[in-house]
Amino acid sequence: MTTGKLLRMDNVGIMVSDMERMITFFSELGLIVEGRTTVEGEWVDRTIGIGNARCEIAMLATPDGGVRLELSRFITPEAQGDGTPVPVNTLGIRRLMFAVDDLRSVLSRLQQHGAELIGDVTQYRDMYLLCYLNGPEGIMLALAEKLD
Protein backbone atom coordinates (compact mmCIF):
# COMPACT_ATOMS: atom_id res chain seq x y z
CA MET A 1 0.00 0.00 0.00
CA THR A 2 1.34 3.41 -1.01
CA THR A 3 1.06 6.20 1.52
CA GLY A 4 1.57 9.92 1.11
CA LYS A 5 -0.14 10.12 -2.29
CA LEU A 6 -1.68 13.23 -3.82
CA LEU A 7 -5.47 13.35 -3.41
CA ARG A 8 -6.43 16.55 -5.28
CA MET A 9 -5.59 20.19 -5.79
CA ASP A 10 -7.64 21.98 -3.15
CA ASN A 11 -7.44 25.67 -4.16
CA VAL A 12 -5.35 28.49 -5.55
CA GLY A 13 -4.59 31.38 -3.19
CA ILE A 14 -4.66 34.96 -4.41
CA MET A 15 -3.60 37.92 -2.24
CA VAL A 16 -5.79 40.98 -2.76
CA SER A 17 -6.03 44.47 -1.31
CA ASP A 18 -9.71 45.18 -2.09
CA MET A 19 -11.73 42.10 -1.11
CA GLU A 20 -15.12 43.47 -2.18
CA ARG A 21 -13.87 44.50 -5.62
CA MET A 22 -12.23 41.14 -6.23
CA ILE A 23 -15.29 39.17 -5.07
CA THR A 24 -17.43 41.26 -7.44
CA PHE A 25 -14.95 40.67 -10.30
CA PHE A 26 -14.77 36.91 -9.85
CA SER A 27 -18.54 36.68 -9.27
CA GLU A 28 -19.02 38.46 -12.61
CA LEU A 29 -16.84 35.77 -14.16
CA GLY A 30 -19.20 33.17 -12.70
CA LEU A 31 -17.51 31.97 -9.51
CA ILE A 32 -19.71 31.38 -6.47
CA VAL A 33 -18.81 32.61 -2.98
CA GLU A 34 -18.78 29.59 -0.66
CA GLY A 35 -17.84 31.43 2.51
CA ARG A 36 -15.90 34.19 4.21
CA THR A 37 -13.99 34.39 7.47
CA THR A 38 -11.12 36.07 9.27
CA VAL A 39 -8.22 34.03 10.60
CA GLU A 40 -5.61 34.96 13.21
CA GLY A 41 -3.73 33.49 16.12
CA GLU A 42 -0.68 31.41 16.87
CA TRP A 43 -1.58 28.60 14.46
CA VAL A 44 -1.84 31.11 11.57
CA ASP A 45 1.44 32.79 12.51
CA ARG A 46 3.22 29.44 12.73
CA THR A 47 1.71 28.11 9.49
CA ILE A 48 2.57 31.11 7.29
CA GLY A 49 5.73 32.22 9.13
CA ILE A 50 4.50 35.78 9.76
CA GLY A 51 3.91 37.04 13.29
CA ASN A 52 0.72 38.83 14.39
CA ALA A 53 -1.05 38.01 11.13
CA ARG A 54 -4.72 38.74 10.69
CA CYS A 55 -6.26 37.84 7.35
CA GLU A 56 -9.72 38.02 5.78
CA ILE A 57 -10.47 35.08 3.49
CA ALA A 58 -13.16 34.43 0.90
CA MET A 59 -13.51 31.03 -0.79
CA LEU A 60 -14.97 31.02 -4.30
CA ALA A 61 -15.70 28.04 -6.53
CA THR A 62 -16.44 27.37 -10.16
CA PRO A 63 -20.08 26.36 -10.81
CA ASP A 64 -19.07 22.69 -11.09
CA GLY A 65 -17.19 22.87 -7.77
CA GLY A 66 -14.04 21.54 -9.42
CA VAL A 67 -11.79 24.54 -8.78
CA ARG A 68 -11.65 26.93 -5.83
CA LEU A 69 -9.99 30.30 -5.40
CA GLU A 70 -9.06 31.49 -1.94
CA LEU A 71 -8.94 35.28 -1.88
CA SER A 72 -6.94 36.60 1.07
CA ARG A 73 -6.62 40.18 2.31
CA PHE A 74 -4.04 40.80 5.00
CA ILE A 75 -5.29 43.17 7.68
CA THR A 76 -1.96 42.85 9.53
CA PRO A 77 0.77 42.97 8.50
CA GLU A 78 0.23 45.07 5.37
CA ALA A 79 0.46 43.13 2.10
CA GLN A 80 3.63 43.38 0.01
CA GLY A 81 3.79 44.53 -3.62
CA ASP A 82 1.57 46.88 -5.55
CA GLY A 83 -0.30 44.53 -7.90
CA THR A 84 1.31 46.00 -11.02
CA PRO A 85 0.70 43.65 -13.96
CA VAL A 86 3.77 41.77 -15.16
CA PRO A 87 4.51 40.36 -18.62
CA VAL A 88 3.20 36.91 -19.56
CA ASN A 89 6.77 35.54 -19.69
CA THR A 90 7.64 36.47 -16.06
CA LEU A 91 8.65 33.48 -13.94
CA GLY A 92 6.14 32.14 -11.41
CA ILE A 93 2.41 31.58 -11.57
CA ARG A 94 1.27 33.78 -14.43
CA ARG A 95 -2.41 33.22 -15.06
CA LEU A 96 -5.60 31.35 -14.30
CA MET A 97 -7.48 29.92 -17.29
CA PHE A 98 -11.24 29.56 -17.33
CA ALA A 99 -13.43 27.76 -19.86
CA VAL A 100 -16.41 29.92 -20.87
CA ASP A 101 -19.33 29.43 -23.24
CA ASP A 102 -19.30 32.93 -24.80
CA LEU A 103 -15.84 34.48 -24.55
CA ARG A 104 -16.72 37.88 -25.99
CA SER A 105 -19.67 38.31 -23.62
CA VAL A 106 -17.62 37.32 -20.56
CA LEU A 107 -14.75 39.57 -21.67
CA SER A 108 -17.12 42.51 -22.10
CA ARG A 109 -18.56 42.04 -18.60
CA LEU A 110 -15.10 41.71 -17.04
CA GLN A 111 -13.88 44.85 -18.82
CA GLN A 112 -16.66 46.75 -17.05
CA HIS A 113 -14.97 45.66 -13.79
CA GLY A 114 -11.44 46.75 -14.70
CA ALA A 115 -10.13 43.89 -16.88
CA GLU A 116 -7.88 44.88 -19.79
CA LEU A 117 -7.24 42.69 -22.81
CA ILE A 118 -3.51 41.90 -23.09
CA GLY A 119 -3.33 41.01 -26.78
CA ASP A 120 -6.23 40.06 -29.03
CA VAL A 121 -9.03 37.54 -29.00
CA THR A 122 -7.62 34.85 -31.28
CA GLN A 123 -8.75 31.54 -32.72
CA TYR A 124 -6.69 28.37 -32.34
CA ARG A 125 -7.47 26.18 -35.34
CA ASP A 126 -11.15 25.24 -35.41
CA MET A 127 -11.05 24.42 -31.71
CA TYR A 128 -10.91 27.49 -29.43
CA LEU A 129 -11.29 31.23 -29.09
CA LEU A 130 -8.67 32.45 -26.61
CA CYS A 131 -7.58 35.63 -24.89
CA TYR A 132 -5.42 36.82 -22.02
CA LEU A 133 -6.41 39.74 -19.81
CA ASN A 134 -5.16 41.64 -16.80
CA GLY A 135 -7.77 41.81 -14.09
CA PRO A 136 -7.80 44.10 -11.08
CA GLU A 137 -4.74 44.04 -8.83
CA GLY A 138 -2.54 42.54 -11.56
CA ILE A 139 -4.27 39.15 -11.66
CA MET A 140 -3.85 37.66 -15.12
CA LEU A 141 -6.63 35.49 -16.54
CA ALA A 142 -7.07 33.54 -19.74
CA LEU A 143 -10.45 32.72 -21.23
CA ALA A 144 -11.10 29.81 -23.58
CA GLU A 145 -14.28 29.13 -25.56
CA LYS A 146 -14.48 25.72 -27.19
CA LEU A 147 -15.80 25.99 -30.74
CA ASP A 148 -18.29 23.44 -32.05
Does 2 score more than 80 pLDDT?
no
Rounded distance, CA 28 to CA 47, Å? 32
**What per-residue confidence (pLDDT) applies to 7?**
78
Domain 12-76 has CATH 3.10.180.10: yes
pLDDT in tens, 88-123: 898 888 899 999 999 999 999 999 999 999 999 999
Q: For a pLDDT cut of 90, what percent of the chain falls above it?
A: 81
Residue extent(s) of CATH 3.10.180.10 domains in the chain: 12-76, 96-146
pLDDT in tens, 16-50: 999 999 999 999 999 999 999 999 999 999 999 99
**What per-residue confidence (pLDDT) applies to 107?**
97
Residues 139-147 have a mean pLDDT of 96
Burial pattern 40-55, b for ≥16 Cβ within 10 A else e, equals eeeeeeeeeeeeebeb
Phi, psi of 74 (to 5 degrees): -75, 125
Residues 1-6 have a mean pLDDT of 80
Domain 96-146 has CATH 3.10.180.10: yes
